Structure 1
């Protein structure tokens, strides 16, 4: 059976429309479709499973409360924008921007499917990613770990697509420089 997330946009749109009418099964489907990707997003940024689960729970509560303000055709971007806002609030209240980035290394290192050489490179990449500004690291995580398209990133960040492309490009360029100049 295919994951529902892989279903066409019309299917997601239909489910969102049902959820907006209070259909509990539709809410359940949306949670099933996005919980894994959003958990990964929060875990990569916090480095803490409990905090990632707590943020995920808060996000889905907000989704239920605010689904009426969502345009069904942009649901994914809307949901990730709420996730981004929730994470920003988390950083403000916990004041953990540096600690947050240090945990990316742990997550990357624990991915068992990577060969040993790739683990070395992943460790190095995670160390260098920690050196980026939190906003830049978040954009790179959203783009390459959470696999948001540039259009979705633009919607999440409420910025023109050109600005998002530029920020991703500059972030990758800075990350590349850090990788090349590291002593590892």
Structure 2
């Protein structure tokens, strides 16, 4: 039995309420999903919070997914959760900005905790959020181009173009920042 087939069996069991199977899914995907969130947020606390929220949603909604498309379903939930986080963060940052303007306070900049090199972090931040997310899902989370296309409801050629343009911009940034 291949690992893909084993994963399908685990998902089927988890859908039936098997807590051990659900724990296996958490173990199988937690590292990849943490990395996915970290590479988008650059913050360990935010990443852990998003990961916890994702697994809670997964537990609540696992009965709605098809076992053969579980991974795409899970990453779509992760993507949607991150987009919600961004919207919430923008509102929060706007409130903080207003507060800082009123009281002329400055906040220290957050520093990377070393999980990513500062150079790569800065390079990813120069990309459009959509493109950065696709590149993280492709190269860190190791999703195939077809999985990305399915996940994003976009033609595969659109995903390929975004990855190509994003990698080109990353390369230019990294070459010019020396």
Q: Same fold (TM over 0.5)?
A: yes
Q: List, as ranges, runs of 4+ consecutive aligned residues in structure 1 with deviation greater than 4 Å.
A: 102-106
Pair 1:154 & 2:149 matched: yes
Cα offset for 1:83? 0.3
Cα offset for 1:107? 2.8
Q: 1:135: which partner in 2?
A: 130
Aligned residues of 1:143 and 1:153 also touching (Cα < 8 A): yes
Q: Normalization by structure 2: what TM-score?
A: 0.81
Kindly provide the CA deviation profile for residues 103-147 of structure 1, in whole angstroms up to 9, marking residues without a partner as x.
Answer: 7795312xxxxxxxxxxxxx4333222211111111111111221
Pair 1:173 & 2:173 matched: no
Considering only CA atoms, is the larger Rg found in Structure 1 or Structure 2?
2
> Where do 5+ consecutive residues of structure 2 fail to align?
94-109
Mapping of residues 1-184 of structure 1, within 5 Å? 8-95=3-90, 106-109=114-117, 123-182=118-177, 184=178
Secondary structure of the corresponding residue to residue 107 of structure 1: coil
In structure 1, C-alpha distance between the alignment counterparts of 2:9 and 2:119, rounded to whole Å:
43
In structure 2, C-alpha distance between the alignment counterparts of 1:58 and 1:78, rounded to whole Å:
15
Aligned residues of 1:153 and 1:164 also touching (Cα < 8 A): yes
Cα offset for 1:18? 0.8
